[in-house]
Amino acid sequence: MATCAVAGRLAQREASMSNIVVVFDFDKTIIDIDSDNWVVDELGATELFNQLLRTMPWNSVMDKMMDELHIQGKTIKDLEQVLNRVPIHPRIVPAIKAVHSFGCDLRVVSDANTFYIDTVLRHLGVRECFSEINTNPGFVDDEGTLRILPYHDFNKSTHGCNLCPPNMCKGKVIERIQSIFGTEEKKKIIYLGDGAGDFCPSLKLVDGDFMMPRKDFPVWELICNNRDLVKAEIHEWTNGEDLEQILLGLVASIISTEDTKNSVENTSQLFDCKFETIALEALPKPLYVPH
């Protein structure tokens, strides 16, 4: 669904001006399921996966599973077909395209792998919206087997974070992203996630940033129980429709605040699109989660 004329004009002006970085988790955030479980279940390997999970870390299990599936005759084409039918809420893609059109810098920070994420995002037509994908390396070897490596090679050294799994600390990824902006104009980060692995990066966000945890999922519960540790403003969401409305509202609010030096017509209504209207008066309020 196309964005509205007002959004289009603002997007053209803001494309090189936005100081907003939107960081998406992948599993159960962009897509509505866990991609590893989806692939394993769809290819009929759940029992073997559960057996291996008792003996090695998750990331290592997935690499082993790709080898086993290859031995069973499953091809890269089979993997792509499974990934191309992952469940996704119909408002996610429009939300991604909308915030990208407003000049936001979109990035993925995920504990999935590059092959899964690239395949899904290209199928959805939004891969070009993302400037960077931070995840476990996934590549097809000479024998046609998908290999999945850890983001942090824990066989050589530990990343030193006791909140995250051994293969990836998302907090360290956020710190690296923040360091890039160290000498630039202040950037505001909006982080969206659902899992326990998204709690560490939420602790790296600073005052002026925004954390969007998925309600009743592990990261939301961790934030509720450790509210004083999170400096960012918190806005919970439950599904794709929620995600779209809250994310676009936050972006509109930030752009409106930064745009006081420019004259903009219809400043009371940044989004008046075919699919919905988000007025400034209806922008999301911060969530005050219980201690």
Quote the Cα angle for 148-95-186, to 5°. Answer: 85
Percent of the chain at pLDDT > 70 equals 80
Quote the Cα angle for 270-273-278, to 5°. Answer: 50
Of residues 274 and 107, more confidence is placed in 107
Mean pLDDT of the chain: 86
278 Cβ neighbours under 8 A, 6+ residues apart: 245, 248, 249, 252, 270, 271
The one-character DSSP state at 282 is G
**pLDDT, average across residues 234-242:** 97
- 3-state secondary structure string across 176-188: HHHHHCCCCCCCE
Which residues face 234 on adjacent strands? 211
Enter the pTM of the model: 0.84
CB atoms within 10 A of CB 166: 17
CA distance 10 to 147: 43
**pLDDT, average across residues 212-239:** 97
| Distance separating the N- and C-terminal Cα atoms of the chain | 40
Element (H, E) at 120: helix 114-124
Q: Which of 25, 34, 111, 194 is an active site residue?
A: 25
- Indicate if 105 belongs to the active site: no
CA distances from 115 to 93, 134, 145 (A): 19, 12, 12
Sign (positive or negative) of CA dihedral 95, 244, 15, 113: negative
Sign (positive or negative) of CA dihedral 204, 198, 137, 168: positive
- Indicate if 207 belongs to the active site: no
For 138-177, how does the pLDDT look when each residue is reduced to its tens digit (9 = 90+)?
Answer: 999 999 999 999 998 776 767 889 999 999 999 999 999 9
Q: Which of 27, 36, 63, 111 is an active site residue?
A: 27
Confidence of residue 286 (pLDDT cuts 50, 70, 90): low
117 Cβ neighbours under 8 A, 6+ residues apart: 26, 35, 108, 110, 133, 135
pLDDT at res. 156: 72
pLDDT at res. 287: 52
pLDDT at res. 36: 97
For 75-133, how does the pLDDT look when each residue is reduced to its tens digit (9 = 90+)?
Answer: 999 999 999 999 999 999 999 999 999 999 999 999 999 999 999 999 999 999 999 99
pLDDT at res. 131: 97
At residue 109, the 3 state secondary structure works out as strand
